[in-house]
Structure 1
Amino acid sequence: MRIARFSYNDRPQYAFVQHDDSDNRDYLIALDGYPLSAQAVKPTGERYAVDGEGIRLLAPVIPSKVYGLAKNYQAHARFMAEAGMSDITEAPERMMIFAKPSTAVIGPDDPIVYPAYSHQMCYEPEVAVVIGRIAKNVPVEHAMDYVLGFTCVNDVTLRDLQQNDPMWTRSKGFDTSCPLGPWIETELDFANTGISFSLNGETVPEASGNTSKLIHSIPEQIAFISSFSTLLPGDVIMTGTPHASGSLRPRDEAVVHIDGIGDLRNVVVSA
């Protein structure tokens, strides 16, 4: 099942996403209610084409917080060492966690704003986990019981600032640095999901990967993060980028593709 958040005539609401084989289009089945609440939601009877006039897909959730994992693929750990951002060429045994504020989140087709104080913006395509229930001190074996679903995320990073900021606060937490979408997929083979990225219509092979190569699995990530921070419904975990990431420039079109979910498209603009 796919859950989207969208606006029609500037009114945001949630919907189930259904594909109609008769015309090969995706449709939004509008919902009355909030899918992350304890109360059941029900269709309103309204149906809109995803690409219809006046329809705009929004970030599928507005999280209270976003956590990310650094160096959670061996290839990316080597890349960061070669780029001078780490003296560790191997993926660390302990998870390296950072955070983004909710103000970093944008949705599909929203612009990524290139800050004037940076000269090296980079993309990082990843699978994102969306939490569905309050989670605290969750054991690994029950971690997936707290997940609503999965979506695409681009962990946009200011690489030049990252080299000089050991806390990564500005380099990863600036406004528009966390594109999410296009929707939440509740059923995904999360342990074996392909990740790819295209820049201006061209696939970037170096950015591709698969969650089967994660150093720390998704259940392990949820268990560890919930051991020190209470995860709330709608919170997001960025599970790690698989490989070396390249640069973005104003007017670039960045598309994150996750098998089984779809495409997250954003265009870079100057501040």
Structure 2
Amino acid sequence: MQLIHFSEDGQSRIGIKTEHGFLNVAKAAAALSLPFPSYIDDVLKDPEQAAQLDAILAQADTLTDPAYYVSMEEVTFLPVFSRPGKILCIGKNYAAHVAETKSEAPKKPLVFSKFTSALAAHKEGIPIPEHTDKVDYEVELVAVIGKKAYCVSPEEALNHVAGYTIGNDVTARDWQKGSPQWLLGKSPDKFAPLGPVYVTADELDPTNLDISLKLNGEVRQNSNTQHLIFDIATIVSYISQHFALEPGDIIFTGTPDGVILGYPEDEQVWLKPGDVIESTIEGIGTLVNTFR
């Protein structure tokens, strides 16, 4: 299953991919006289709302009129997850990225967080804050929790992952390095864009997905999730030993090499207004954001 989250007349809406395109769940529900969910987060958290979505999808073949569908080119996207309980991130999780930053590979997953105010959508502009001039990009596979995970084993862990999306762990490097905690450099407003599509776990193998990023059309990052130091199962299990992961929680799983920080210091050209980032992961799509 593939879902998008968008705005229509000021209201939150879900689109679900069918053979005819992305079905506007709200319009379909009205035509079928069925209740409907408005947030993908709620589909994960509430079994009743998940059942509502399944009921609409079961009758989607009867809705062939283009008026029931939305265009990916024209829709106004919202972050695929707008109300996660926790935004967690894993640092230094590709060996080549560790090498380019001249740092030491972690012996355990390096966990930090972002605030929900950092969320942004596909095609949404990302403001560069005042007082920082070292803003960097980091394309990442984002794992989405679908079932509570507490003290789960690596063998059990993927049973608790509902699906995946694309994230860009945008970072103000000077703020990140200006404190022992990374939070200030990681959580400025809109520094966690997500999207454009949420793909359920049954459609993807998270251990072997091509992952790449372009800056103004130039390929800067290009790798595969098979090069993760700690895979998704290990990450979920490790975090769950410390606190419970709840449905709707999201985990940025680390970025490959090619970030600006990894360039020689005299070649580091930091992000500036007008720069366009395209973050692509196989099987999910391309998340596009412009800095302003």
Distance 1:78 1:30 in 2: 46
Compare the two structures and name the one with the higher helix fraction. Answer: 2
Cα RMSD after superposing both structures: 1.7
Output aligned runs, 1:118-137, within 5 Å.
118-137=132-151
Pair 1:184 & 2:195 matched = no
Query: Partner of 2:10 in structure 1?
Result: 10
The code of the aligned residue for 1:216 comes to F
Pair 1:245 & 2:259 matched = yes
Query: Partner of 1:60 in structure 2?
Result: 80
Query: Partner of 1:106 in structure 2?
Result: 120
State the shift of 1:202 in Å: 2.5
Once the two structures are superposed, residues 172-217 of structure 1 have per-residue CA deviations (whole angstroms, 9 ceiling, x without a partner) of 011111000011111211100010111112222xx11111011111
Name stretches of at least 5 consecutive residues in structure 1 with no aligned partner: 21-25
Distance 2:237 2:19 in 1: 34
Output aligned runs, 1:1-271, within 5 Å.
1-20=1-20, 26-30=21-25, 32-33=36-37, 34-36=42-44, 37-39=46-48, 40-42=51-53, 43=56, 47-51=68-72, 55-62=75-82, 63-81=84-102, 86=103, 88=104, 91-186=105-200, 187-204=203-220, 207-246=221-260, 247-269=270-292
TM-score, normalised to structure 1's length? 0.89
TM-score, normalised to structure 2's length? 0.82
Distance 2:167 2:18 in 1: 22
Rg bigger for which structure? 2
State the shift of 1:99 in Å: 0.4
Distance 1:202 1:16 in 2: 31
Once the two structures are superposed, residues 52-111 of structure 1 have per-residue CA deviations (whole angstroms, 9 ceiling, x without a partner) of 65x312111121111111111111111222xxxx4x2xx221111110111111111111
**Residues 19 and 202 (structure 1 numbering): CA distance in 2 closer, same or farther, change over 3 Å?**
farther
Name stretches of at least 5 consecutive residues in structure 2 with no aligned partner: 27-35, 58-62, 261-269
Compare the two structures and name the one with the higher strand fraction. Answer: 1
The code of the aligned residue for 1:112 comes to I
State the shift of 1:144 in Å: 1.1
- Count of paired positions: 254
State the shift of 1:15 in Å: 2.5
Report the secondary structure of 1:248's partner residue. coil
Does structure 1 retain, via aligned residues, the 8 Å contact 2:13–2:24?
Answer: no
Distance 1:145 1:71 in 2: 25
